[in-house]
Structure 1
Amino acid sequence: MSEFDELQAAIRRHAHERQAEERACEAFLNALYHALRAASGPGLPLNNVTLDFTVDPANRLRPVPTGGFHAAWLRLGLCEVLVRVRRVGGAFQGEYGDGGSFRLEGAGEDELITLARQMLRGVADTYAGSGQERVRRLN
């Protein structure tokens, strides 16, 4: 078997796992979008939040290998924030904006609302000039 054939076989062998991970990451990004819309509290939805899935600019292979990042641009009113997420040991690990990062063991509503508010504060800090890197572990 040639190296090319070995590559094709490896890609096929892990296709199901890769696709399941991609679906999970996209579902997480979609849930984060909904959490951002609800971050102002019950009955106060943020209507100027949009989600646009995109190819992660740091990915150097397609399809994205298992453990790779999946990305989306989240428009938050006047700005857009690139959010990258991947699965690591069953948790969602990600990055957003200018140095923000997170790790969520669970993706329940409360965890996502907390992350959404953290993101909004982090992005506001960036534009306000405080630009402090916010690294928090949720859960």
Structure 2
Amino acid sequence: MSEFDELQAVIRRHAEARQAEQRACEAFLNALYHALRTASGPGLPLNNVTLEFTADPAVRLRPAPTGSYHAAWLRLGLCEVLVRVRRADGSFQGEYGPGCAFRLELTSEDDLLALARTLLRDVTAAYGGEQVTSHLN
């Protein structure tokens, strides 16, 4: 078997795991989007929040290998923030904005709302000229 054939075989063998991971990360990003829409509280939806999945600019292989980040642009009114997320040790690990990171083992509505509110505060601080380096666990 040539090196090329070996590469193709490895990609095929791990296709299901990669696809499952991508679906999980995209579902997480979609849930974060919905949390951002309700971050202002019950009955106060943020209507100017949109979600656009995108290829992660740091991933240099397609299809992305297992363990890679998956990304989406979240438009928050007048600004956009790139959110990157991956599965790591059974939890969701991610990055957003200027040096902010998170790790969520549970993805309950409350956990996602806490992340959404932290993200909004961090983006506000970044535009306000404050140094931001949030690490939500």
Aligned-partner residue type, residue 86 of structure 1: R
Match of 2:48 in 1: 48
SS, match of residue 16 in structure 1: helix
TM-score between both structures, scaled by the size of structure 1: 0.97
Give the Cα–Cα distance (whole angstroms) in 2 for the partners of residues 122 and 27 of structure 1. Answer: 23
Aligned residue runs from structure 1 range 18-97, under 5 A: 18-97=18-97
Shift of 1:106: 1.2
Shift of 1:135: 1.1
SS, match of residue 83 in structure 2: strand
Match of 1:135 in 2: 135
Shift of 1:132: 2.2
Aligned-partner residue type, residue 91 of structure 1: S
Give the Cα–Cα distance (whole angstroms) in 2 for the partners of residues 64 and 105 of structure 1. Answer: 23
Instruction: State yes or no: 1:112 paired with 2:116.
Output: no
Aligned-partner residue type, residue 80 of structure 1: E
SS, match of residue 12 in structure 1: helix
Give the Cα–Cα distance (whole angstroms) in 1 for the partners of residues 132 and 96 of structure 2. Answer: 13
- In the TM superposition, what whole-angstrom CA distance separates every residue of 1:35-68 from its partner, at most 9, and x where no partner exists? 0000000000000000000000000000010000
Give the Cα–Cα distance (whole angstroms) in 2 for the partners of residues 81 and 71 of structure 1. Answer: 10
SS, match of residue 44 in structure 1: coil
Aligned-partner residue type, residue 71 of structure 2: A
TM-score between both structures, scaled by the size of structure 2: 0.99
* % identical equivalent positions: 72
**How much is the aligned-residue C-alpha RMSD, in angstroms?**
0.5
SS, match of residue 103 in structure 1: strand
Aligned-partner residue type, residue 122 of structure 2: G
| Unmatched segments (≥5 aa) in structure 2 | none
Shift of 1:28: 0.2
Aligned-partner residue type, residue 2 of structure 2: S
Instruction: State yes or no: 1:13 paired with 2:13.
Output: yes
Give the Cα–Cα distance (whole angstroms) in 2 for the partners of residues 62 and 106 of structure 1. Answer: 29
